[in-house]
Amino acid sequence: MAARFNLIGLVVADIARSAAFYRRLGLDIPEGDDHVDITLPGGMRLALDTVDVVKSFEPDWQPPVGGHRIALAFECESPDGVDRTFKELTAAGATAHKEPWDAFWGQRYAVVLDPDGNHVELFASQSPSEGPAAPA
């Protein structure tokens, strides 16, 4: 049987803080102390695990340094939705990484950092027709 991509796992310092951040983006993250796991539309899953959980099976684990290694992108309903979501997240304490801008690939785009420094990208098509896919 071939392997099937099924889960995106994030290592988080504070599961409650990270869960609250992703709830602001519309994800139905359950309560949990060390691990939470949800099924996203389409069947893909997202898991949040604390550093302690990861170190329980990989004692020498260290967080990456020097730049982001993953980006989660959330499609907004409109270019104004990108601006509004960016303002809501940063007002709630998220770190702004790139203010909203009109990207050359035809989308309104912005980037905030989740509580652990992962890039969370917000985007919306600027025209009724879909433009090229955004870079990750």
pLDDT in tens, 6-48: 999 999 999 999 999 999 999 999 999 999 999 999 999 999 9
Residues 47-63 have pLDDT tens digits of 999 999 999 999 999 98
Kindly report the pTM of this predicted structure.
0.86
- Domain 68-136: assigned CATH number: 3.10.180.10
Asked if residues 121 and 127 have their Cβ atoms less than 8 Å apart, the reply is no
Asked if residues 128 and 111 have their Cβ atoms less than 8 Å apart, the reply is no
**Quick check: 130 pLDDT over 60?**
no
Two tokens, residue 3: 């392997």
**Quick check: 136 pLDDT over 80?**
no
Mean of pLDDT over the chain: 92
Two tokens, residue 118: 């992962």
Asked if residues 18 and 12 have their Cβ atoms less than 8 Å apart, the reply is yes
Superfamily of domain 1-57: 2,3-Dihydroxybiphenyl 1,2-Dioxygenase, domain 1 (3.10.180.10)
β-strand partners of 47: 9, 37
> What is the helix (H) or strand (E) element at residue 42, kind and residue range?
none
Domain with CATH 3.10.180.10 in the chain: 1-57, 68-136
Determine the pLDDT at residue 69.
84
Residues 50-103 have pLDDT tens digits of 999 999 999 999 988 888 889 999 999 999 999 999 999 999 999 999 999 999
